[in-house]
Structure 1
Amino acid sequence: MVNWTLMHDCYGDVDRVPVLLERVELGDDAEAWEELGYRLVLENDLVFPAGFAALPRLVRLASRSARARGLAGVILRRAAGHHGCDDLLTACGDAIAEFRKLLDRHLQARPADYLASFLDSLAAKEEYHWSAVLGDFTDDFYHLACPHCAVEVTIAIGDHGRYSAIRDWHRGDVNRRDLRPVSPGALSGTGRWMHRTAVRDGQEVLADGIAHLFGRAECPRCASVFNIADEYTSANRPVLRQAR
């Protein structure tokens, strides 16, 4: 049982969120959903104790409510931040596991919000980094330092091409080198899950983009070859919650 007297929202209130949850559980109350959204999560990536306290109830609604599914996903995508609610998030373990299953079923239906649900699935797996940065590979750019010569390399994956380059703000991307996509059989861990899921669900552009993202690039300056995902992850992975 949640002690709501301890669960403040973004305004510091402790009594409004449970009232709103009761309203949306009774029916699709658009005004209540809108108020829940801005009370639980702010646009600057902050999530409040009431957000984690509400998560199990949102997950229970998610099978029949796109609003509940979306709000639960937003809360989880921001769970890597410095929210001070580690205990509350840990207590949501069963609900998050159920949410992963629900999202997987939703993805198999090839919904219009496929990418958003795919990113929510990554967050539910605690892959907060990829959940935050993965695009649809129509116009994606990733910037990282070459692990050998430290020059900043631009990785492009999209309709414009699939290459590594040095970005020149006057001349554009220069000294382009074609990326080397990974063989699906060589993928492991998160990359394998991402690629297999996209292939299973007929998301060809997403699957091809993932194969390139987890492939290898040549540095345009020193010609060394490196794994794109490994280097980008090491430079950009957020600081995760500390185990107690």
Structure 2
Amino acid sequence: MVAWERMRDCWFECDRVPVLLERVERDDAADAWDELGWRLVLEHDLVSPASFAALPRLVRLAPRSARARALAGKILGRAAGHHGCDDLFAEHAGAVAEFREFLDRHLRSRPADYLVSFRALLAAEGEYHWAAVLDDFTDDFFPLDCPGCGARVTIAIGDHGRYSEVPGMDPDDAGRRGLRPAVPEDLVRTGRRMHEAAVRDGQAALADGILALFGQAECPACAAVFSVSDEYGAGHRPVMG
């Protein structure tokens, strides 16, 4: 039984979240979902005790509600931050595991909310930085630092092209280099899981983008060749605690 009187939300109130949960469980009201969303997840990755306390009920709603899946995924995507709720989050490990298992089944059905659910699954697996950054690879840019010279490199993966570029360098003067996508057989761990799931579920554009994300890039400034995913992960992994 949740002691809601001690579970403040992101606006430091304790009474609204249980009321809103009861309402969305009853009639899936859009306005209730909207308010619940900004009470449980704020900008700048802020979550609260009420956010984690709400997880089991959101997971129960997940099979019939895309809004529940999205909100639970957002909360989990911020679980690594400085929220002070580690013990409370740990109490709901069972709900997180249940959500993870459901999402894997859900993705196999190729749902309309595929990408949202895919990112939620990554968050439920603890892959927080990929859950936060992954998009549809139509217009995606990933900033990182070259391990060779320290230059700020932009990695572009989208319909406009797939390349590395150093801002300020002339792209027509060797300032833009094409990416070297990974070979599926060479992928390991997270990259392999992500790619295999996308292929399994017929998400060709996502699968192809993942190969670029887990491939190699060349720094236009110094010609160093490096792993895009390794350098992005090193610079963007959330601080735990």
Counterpart of 1:76?
76
Q: What SS does structure 2 have at the residue aligned with 1:132?
A: helix
Displacement of 1:166 in angstroms is 2.2
Counterpart of 1:217?
217
Task: Give per-residue Cα distances to partners, 1:8-30, cap 9 Å, x unaligned.
Answer: 11232223222222222223233
Counterpart of 1:136?
136
Displacement of 1:73 in angstroms is 1.3
* Aligned counterparts of 2:35 and 2:179: Cα–Cα separation in 1: 45
Q: Is the 8 A contact 2:195 2:207 kept in 1?
A: yes
Q: Counterpart of 2:80 in structure 1: which amino acid?
A: A
* Aligned counterparts of 2:54 and 2:118: Cα–Cα separation in 1: 22
**Residues 173 and 63 of structure 1: CA distance in aligned 2, closer, same or farther (over 3 Å):** farther
Percent of paired sites with the same residue? 66
Deviates further, 98-107 or 22-31: 22-31
Displacement of 1:174 in angstroms is 5.1
Displacement of 1:97 in angstroms is 0.7
* Aligned counterparts of 2:132 and 2:172: Cα–Cα separation in 1: 24
Q: Is the 8 A contact 1:195 1:207 kept in 2?
A: yes
* Aligned counterparts of 2:133 and 2:146: Cα–Cα separation in 1: 19
Where do 1:1-244 residues align within 5 Å? 1-168=1-168, 171=170, 175=174, 176-241=176-241
**Which has the bigger relative contact order, CA under 8 A and spacing at least 6?**
2
* Aligned counterparts of 1:233 and 1:61: Cα–Cα separation in 2: 32
Q: Is the 8 A contact 1:97 1:124 kept in 2?
A: yes
* Aligned counterparts of 2:143 and 2:23: Cα–Cα separation in 1: 45
Q: Counterpart of 2:124 in structure 1: which amino acid?
A: A
The count of corresponding residues between Structure 1 and Structure 2 is: 240
* Aligned counterparts of 1:155 and 1:81: Cα–Cα separation in 2: 25
**Residues 88 and 223 of structure 1: CA distance in aligned 2, closer, same or farther (over 3 Å):** same
Q: What SS does structure 1 have at the residue aligned with 2:64?
A: coil
**Residues 11 and 149 of structure 1: CA distance in aligned 2, closer, same or farther (over 3 Å):** closer
Q: Is the 8 A contact 1:177 1:217 kept in 2?
A: yes
Unaligned runs of 5+ in 2: none
* Aligned counterparts of 1:56 and 1:27: Cα–Cα separation in 2: 18
TM-score (norm 2): 0.93
TM-score (norm 1): 0.91
Q: What SS does structure 1 have at the residue aligned with 2:54?
A: helix
* Aligned counterparts of 1:168 and 1:18: Cα–Cα separation in 2: 51
* Aligned counterparts of 1:15 and 1:173: Cα–Cα separation in 2: 59
Q: What SS does structure 2 have at the residue aligned with 1:63?
A: helix
